[in-house]
Amino acid sequence: MSSKRAIDSFFKFLVTLGISGLISLGLGSGTSSSPRQLNVLLITIDTLRADHLGVYGGPSNLTPEIDRWAAGGVIFNRAFAHATTTLPAHASILLGATPLYHGVHENGTFYVQENYISLAEHLQSAGWSTAAFVGAYPLDARFGLDQGFEIYDDQYGSQDFDHHDYVERPAEAVIDRALAWVKSASQPWFLWIHCYDPHAPYEPPPPYNQLYQASPYKGEVAYVSTQVGRLHDWLTKQNLEDKTIVILTGDHGEGLGDHGERTHGYFAYNSTLWVPLIISSPGSKHHRVENFVSHQDIFPTVCDLLDLKVPRQVQGQSLRPALQGKKIKERTIYFESLYPYYSRGWAPLRGLIINHHKYIDSPIPELYDLEADFREEKNLITSSSWTHWKEKLDEFQKKNRYPQAEKAYSQELTPEIYRRLKSLGYVSSGRRPQALPISPATDIKTMLFYENQVEDAWRLAQAGQVEKALKLLKQVRDKKPELDIAYTRLASLYKQQGLTQKALEILETGRERQPSNYEIFSAYVSLLLELGHFGEVIQAIKSSSLRPLQFDPEMWNYLGVAYGHLGEFEEAIKAYDLALKLDPDYPVAAANRGLAAALLYRRSRQRDWFNEAERSFRLALEADENLVSAYNGLAFLYQLNGDYSRAIDEWEKAVQIDPHFGLALYNLGLAYLHQGRKDKALTCFLNYKKQFFNSLTQEEKIKLEELINQCQQK
């Protein structure tokens, strides 16, 4: 599903969307390359408030690298996202359309359908090399934005039940990998780089953690700016500035307490909807654009600058005239914030920006004059104006909604789209939520108050005030039993206190009250597994009809672990195969599969199982070369086969990577002892004793002392 390369000569090229008369190849006399030879660099910085960049009036010297880049480009003073969460916002950027058209409304349970043409696909079909390097799970390839990219690098870690934020990798790692690719890429190329760092939790690396102790969010922004500066420096050194179109934007902003919103994804005020947009292209001159524009305009702008036709699906307009210093006709900007609706069942929030007025449709509606009140402090809505604006919104939705968009949520997608697992932070129920009555009581402005209390309780717990935290969480749960995060956080807190049975009871209650909630379900299964309730894990997963379960490799890995503990190794391998079908590069599942096959080899001595085990362990190490459990598994397999030399090699690798991996350390000692290398065995056992003796059972302590004595005997 890739569009064919446009073959019209530029003299016959007709710019769509009402823009005509632009027949010059470049934007000015300084252009040295034809449009079809230009590179495109798209930089999206997650959760970046525009007012934190110096060029948008932010703190001085916070973002000097980005400001320096912007000094040579065109700055759009009023650019807006169409959604305030990561996946929908990026879908609008890369598809050139609003969520009404592409159907992606939140992270985790929506997917970009293959029948849409992405910017990457359009450029790839026209001869551009394409690559993407993303920083965190919400843009995982399984959600469909990988289409059109020859390289879609989404390599980061996985997470567990107690980690309530998305797994990410730092901007430095993302840009390192991007630079490694682009240095050898054939030109022209399209490179998309996504930096996740400003997203909560705000944990800037040194020295930014010290420099910005009072505002770690600023520290994250400053850190990202320095990393973006590396890209600018590289382009300059390679003399590629005159051959590259650079677009820098944020996917959305951050509340930072404005209007009571601490992060984002709930409201759609300008603290989260207003984004920076800086475009530099060969021949363009630095200036500012005051017109209101939006993310959907990026796709057609790139096409216009490259002399490519714009796909019919694209709803935005080219900003090329604005880059030339001309005024453009402002269009209605649609926006939404539907994460609370899809994940919680709260009232939906949508709106329009028309003629610099912003209407927010919710049970408690709002209207703001953005010229006089950009911070949205004075609500101008009246009964009569509400009717007027509501009709405008309804009319816009009816005109711009695409029936196919519904399938972004409900269609059965192939395992390939779901091939990468990096467990969800906050996820939806996996089906349409049981909608709460749409009233002021379920307005986001009302409900967010209680969710903030849950976060307050969590902070109290981390500060050591556990009893206060428990009391507050119980109050919220009882007051708002439909709030799923109250159950998962309360269970996590009990678990941290060692009260695992109490945690399990909380999650069981949550499942009874919210049977379609996947976040509660996944936390419940994870805890069952940790408690060793393997039969219940199997029962819960096998009997569940929750939609995300079909596409969540971690759950099938859990199922395999449960079967493995019960000695049903062939059933375990079937479960691991399902996990690896969804995510072929899932190292933990591959290593677990290897162990199950190794145990079948020990039981049957059939060579096929030996080969299967070895292949699985090697697959795990290809995905993660530092996975110590895979080295330990290989060593166990070779030991079963009587090959102690190879076993020792693998255990030594495991211990070298992680000196505190007790299982490998202990097994290495046994292997050395088997070979008569008592001195090396003694070193291993003494090290093991130093680290783990107090946690051993009395029987294990006696056994360890016997081994030490055996090593010391002449």
Judged against a pLDDT cut of 60, whether residue 667 lies above it is answered with: yes
How many whole angstroms from its chain centre is CA 495? Answer: 26
Calculate what percentage of the chain has a pLDDT beyond 90.
77
At 221 the pLDDT is 98
Q: Using alpha carbons, select from 519, 500, 372, 514 the residue that is nearest to residue 436.
A: 514
Please compute the mean of the pLDDT values over residues 77-83 and round it to a whole number. 98
At 29 the pLDDT is 34
Q: Using alpha carbons, select from 140, 136, 145, 144 the residue that is nearest to residue 163.
A: 136
Judged against a pLDDT cut of 90, whether residue 404 lies above it is answered with: no
pLDDT digits (tens, 9 = 90+) for 216-259: 999 999 999 999 999 999 999 999 999 999 999 999 999 999 99
Q: Is-contact 86 251, C-beta < 8 A?
A: yes
Choice among 22-31, 220-229, 426-435 with the minimum mean pLDDT = 22-31
Q: 353: burial class by Cβ within 10 Å (0-12, 13-18, 19+)?
A: buried
At 75 the pLDDT is 98
Q: Per-residue DSSP letters for 178-203?
A: HHHHHTTPPSSEEEEEEE-TTSSS--
pLDDT digits (tens, 9 = 90+) for 644-654: 999 999 999 99
Please compute the mean of the pLDDT values over residues 507-521 and round it to a whole number. 90
- Any bridge partners for residue 275, and if so which? 79
Bond preceding residue 201 cis, omega within 30 of 0: yes
Helix (H, G, I), strand (E, B) or coil at 93: helix
Helix (H, G, I), strand (E, B) or coil at 1: coil
Judged against a pLDDT cut of 70, whether residue 15 lies above it is answered with: no
Confidence of residue 436 (pLDDT cuts 50, 70, 90): low
Q: What is the dihedral of CA 504, 510, 512, 517, to 10 degrees?
A: -120
Choice among 137-146, 326-335, 370-379 with the minimum mean pLDDT = 137-146
Judged against a pLDDT cut of 80, whether residue 289 lies above it is answered with: yes
At 25 the pLDDT is 30
Give the span between the Cα atoms of 53 and 276, in whole angstroms: 8
Please compute the mean of the pLDDT values over residues 589-615 and round it to a whole number. 96
User: From edge to edge, which strands make up the β-sheet containing 349-354?
Assistant: 333-337, 349-354, 357-361, 366-369
pLDDT digits (tens, 9 = 90+) for 184-212: 999 899 999 999 999 998 999 999 999 99
Q: 203: burial class by Cβ within 10 Å (0-12, 13-18, 19+)?
A: middle
Instruction: List phi, psi (to 5°) of 196.
Output: -95, -10
Beta-carbon contacts of residue 340 (< 8 Å; ≥ 6 apart): 265, 266, 346, 347, 349, 444, 447, 448
Judged against a pLDDT cut of 70, whether residue 596 lies above it is answered with: yes
At 548 the pLDDT is 75
At 463 the pLDDT is 93
pLDDT digits (tens, 9 = 90+) for 627-648: 999 999 999 999 999 999 999 9
Q: Using alpha carbons, select from 15, 26, 22 the residue that is nearest to residue 284.
A: 26
Confidence of residue 543 (pLDDT cuts 50, 70, 90): very high
Judged against a pLDDT cut of 90, whether residue 431 lies above it is answered with: no
At 435 the pLDDT is 55
Give how far Cα 445 sits from Cα of 361, 368, 380, 387, 393, Å.
12, 16, 17, 21, 20
Give how far Cα 206 sits from Cα of 67, 218, 222, Å.
22, 13, 11
Judged against a pLDDT cut of 80, whether residue 11 lies above it is answered with: no
At 342 the pLDDT is 85
Choice among 21-35, 74-88, 140-154, 501-515 with the minimum mean pLDDT = 21-35
At 49 the pLDDT is 98
Q: Is-contact 617 590, C-beta < 8 A?
A: yes
Judged against a pLDDT cut of 50, whether residue 161 lies above it is answered with: no
The residue that leads in pLDDT, 27 or 459, is 459
Confidence of residue 409 (pLDDT cuts 50, 70, 90): low
Residue with tokens 């049970």: 363
- Any bridge partners for residue 368, and if so which? 358
> DSSP E strands: which ranges in 567-613?
none
At 429 the pLDDT is 37
Q: Using alpha carbons, select from 441, 564, 530, 421 the residue that is nearest to residue 507.
A: 530
Q: What is the largest CA-CA distance in the chain?
A: 97
- Any bridge partners for residue 349, and if so which? 337
pLDDT digits (tens, 9 = 90+) for 307-363: 999 999 999 999 999 999 999 999 999 999 999 998 778 899 999 999 999 999 999
Helix (H) or strand (E) holding 294: strand 287-294
**416: which DSSP letter?**
G
At 158 the pLDDT is 54
At 493 the pLDDT is 94
Residue with tokens 């870690």: 157
Give the span between the Cα atoms of 31 and 174, in whole angstroms: 30
What mean pLDDT value characterizes the chain? 88
Helix (H, G, I), strand (E, B) or coil at 371: coil
Residue with tokens 């930014």: 208
Q: Using alpha carbons, select from 510, 588, 591, 516 the residue that is nearest to residue 554.
A: 588
Strand pairing report for 287-294 and 274-280? unpaired
Confidence of residue 19 (pLDDT cuts 50, 70, 90): very low
Q: Per-residue DSSP letters for 485-523?
A: HHHHHHHHHHHHTT-HHHHHHHHHHHHHH-TT-HHHHHH
Report whether CATH 1.25.40.10 matches the domain 640-714.
yes
Judged against a pLDDT cut of 90, whether residue 609 lies above it is answered with: yes
Range 497-503 contact pairs with CB under 8 angstroms and sequence separation of 24 or more: 497/466, 500/527, 500/530, 500/531, 503/527
Residues of CATH 1.25.40.10 domain(s) within the chain?
640-714
Residues of CATH 3.40.720.10 domain(s) within the chain?
35-407
Judged against a pLDDT cut of 60, whether residue 478 lies above it is answered with: yes
Q: Is-contact 116 312, C-beta < 8 A?
A: no
Confidence of residue 125 (pLDDT cuts 50, 70, 90): very high
Helix (H) or strand (E) holding 360: strand 357-361
Judged against a pLDDT cut of 70, whether residue 18 lies above it is answered with: no
Strand pairing report for 357-361 and 349-354? antiparallel
Tokens of 530: 């940790």
What spatial distance separates the first Cα and last Cα of the chain, rounded to whole Å? 73
Q: Is-contact 660 629, C-beta < 8 A?
A: no
How many whole angstroms from its chain centre is CA 154? Answer: 9
Confidence of residue 47 (pLDDT cuts 50, 70, 90): very high
Give the span between the Cα atoms of 616 and 638, in whole angstroms: 14
What pTM, to 2 d.p., does this model score? 0.73
Q: Is-contact 48 63, C-beta < 8 A?
A: no
pLDDT digits (tens, 9 = 90+) for 671-683: 999 999 999 999 9
Report whether CATH 3.40.720.10 matches the domain 35-407.
yes
